[in-house]
Amino acid sequence: MSVVPSWSIWKERNQRVHGHKFSHQSEGISGPVGVVRRVDSSHSWCPPLAGLYTLNCDASVKDDKAAVGVVLSNERGEVMFCVGKQIGGCLEVELAEGQAVLFGLWCAIDCGFSSIVIESDCSTLIQKLTSIVHGSSPMQLLVDDINHLSESFPFVSFEHINRKVNLVAHSLAKWASSWKMLLFC
């Protein structure tokens, strides 16, 4: 049951990105799909180069609950997987955003994907992931874990993107905050 909304979100997003009419135009879609339709065209998703995959990651922290959402897509905008999951004990937004990236990398490894462009709307996280800094704070330890796991891939890059472009991953994270189960499609 939870796979259908995620597929619908991604289908509507692809139609938006590729300039097609929406299939549910007369139905007045609400919620995340409706939000995807309103994305400003100047902030649109860009596909990765051929042979690469884009991993969009986001987190949601609200009312003592945290969840992550990740979406992996190819150069044609086709979804390879999308996952939403609650995470426990993480109520700081930047830490939750880092957990989303780490979780997305593990999912990519488990599914056999290699060359990835990781996209997040958390600019401070992307700065930390692309800087050489040493420390022992919880955030720095998480950054170190992400960078260490990234070494498993032949190619990884970290990109900051506009929040509007990261809407599907954000919607998955938001929805997952109210689910007890893991969503995988």
User: Per-residue confidence of the chain (185 residues) as pLDDT tens digits?
Assistant: 344 445 455 555 555 555 544 443 333 333 443 333 333 334 677 888 999 999 999 999 988 889 999 999 999 999 999 999 999 877 899 999 999 999 999 999 999 999 999 999 999 999 999 998 888 899 999 999 999 999 999 999 999 999 999 999 999 999 898 876 666 66
Query: Is 5 a member of any domain?
Result: no
Query: Is 127 a member of any domain?
Result: yes
Give me the pLDDT at residue 30, please.
38
Question: What CATH number does the domain containing 122 carry?
Answer: 3.30.420.10
Domain, as residue range, for 152: 48-184
Query: Is 22 a member of any domain?
Result: no
Counted domains in the chain: 1
Q: Rounded CA gap, 129 and 132, in Å?
A: 8
Query: Is 108 a member of any domain?
Result: yes
Give me the pLDDT at residue 18, please.
57
Query: Is 41 a member of any domain?
Result: no
Q: Rounded CA gap, 184 and 157, in Å?
A: 24
Q: Rounded CA gap, 102 and 95, in Å?
A: 10
Query: Is 15 a member of any domain?
Result: no
Give me the pLDDT at residue 35, please.
37
Query: Is 162 a member of any domain?
Result: yes
Query: Is 28 a member of any domain?
Result: no
